[in-house]
Amino acid sequence: MSSQSAKAAAKAGVEIRELREIGEFQQVYRLFDQIWHPDPRNAPVTVELMIGFAHTGNYVTGAFDGDTLVGASVGFLAAGRTLHSHVTGAVIGHGIGYALKLHQRDWCRERGLERITWTFDPLVRRNARFNLVKLGALPEAYLEEFYGPMADAINEGDASDRLLAVWRVAPGEGAGASPPETEGLPVLLGSEDERPVVRGVLGEAVLVGTPRDIEELRRTDPAAAKEWRMAVRTVLGTLIGAGGQVVGFTDRGEYIVMVN
């Protein structure tokens, strides 16, 4: 484990280790159930699948506070010297997720892997900020209705559009190009009274906004939540599909996109 990941784990107050026993996989299943409250037919990952992944040399790891599991991550090897991080969940607000990602990076480097990929909801600001700003990963594809209908407390009733995050972790590789200054950049998708507003402006770089709190909006104003989904799909999805590159995320909750 690198000094950076060891420091992150110590700051979070956890021990991170690969999991091998059925009882540990059952703990992960219960933790994910507490986080997502999924329909039993829609679990993020089953115990049987975790057993198979761990047995075949994939990434199944838990973060423990004493004997209590407080975070876990499950990933599998993919093409192109890549680990695809299928699901990561942790108790919020303690830095556990960050410690898990740094452990994951060390794990990949030890095995000669060059990048980690995962998907995230482009409307969830805290995830976008964590992935793009904290880690330095960058989205490389917009995936429309990637998982189909999802029956859980967080995603139910909304389309499962995702961004594919790519985190280049080979030693010596940077996180990508430095984002441009955002002062004065045109806002292609903005917000007025919690509703999305598309503006007919373009430049070499543009800003694409997100809702302040999409999870709350799904509960309090489903129509507005759906408007945001369609607006971000249309604007951000079209830009990326046309070769635009997301290069950062602002403190105001906007994607910075270099237009091709």
Q: Which of 146-150, 160-164, 210-214 has the lowest mean pLDDT?
A: 146-150
User: In terms of pLDDT, which residue wins out, 175 or 89?
Assistant: 89
Residue length, the chain? 260
CATH architecture of 3-168: 3-Layer(aba) Sandwich (3.40)
Read off the amino acid at residue 45. V
Instruction: Give 72-103 pLDDT, tens digit per residue.
Output: 999 999 999 999 999 999 998 899 999 999 99
Where are the chain's structural domains?
3-168, 187-258
What angle, 0 to 180 degrees and rounded to 10, lies between the N-to-C axes of helices 96-110 and 3-12? 150
Record the pTM.
Answer: 0.92
Tokens for 17?
């280790």
Residue 170 confidence (pLDDT) above 80? yes
Instruction: Give 36-85 pLDDT, tens digit per residue.
Output: 988 887 889 999 999 999 999 999 999 999 999 999 999 999 999 999 99
| Secondary-structure breakdown of the chain: helix, strand, coil percentages, each rounded to the nearest 5 | 35, 30, 35
Q: Where are the alpha helices (DSSP H) in 17-143?
A: 22-36, 47-55, 96-110, 125-129
Tokens for 112?
């000669």
Read off the amino acid at residue 135. L
Greatest CA separation for the chain: 56
Instruction: Give 203-226 pLDDT, tens digit per residue.
Output: 899 999 999 999 999 999 999 999
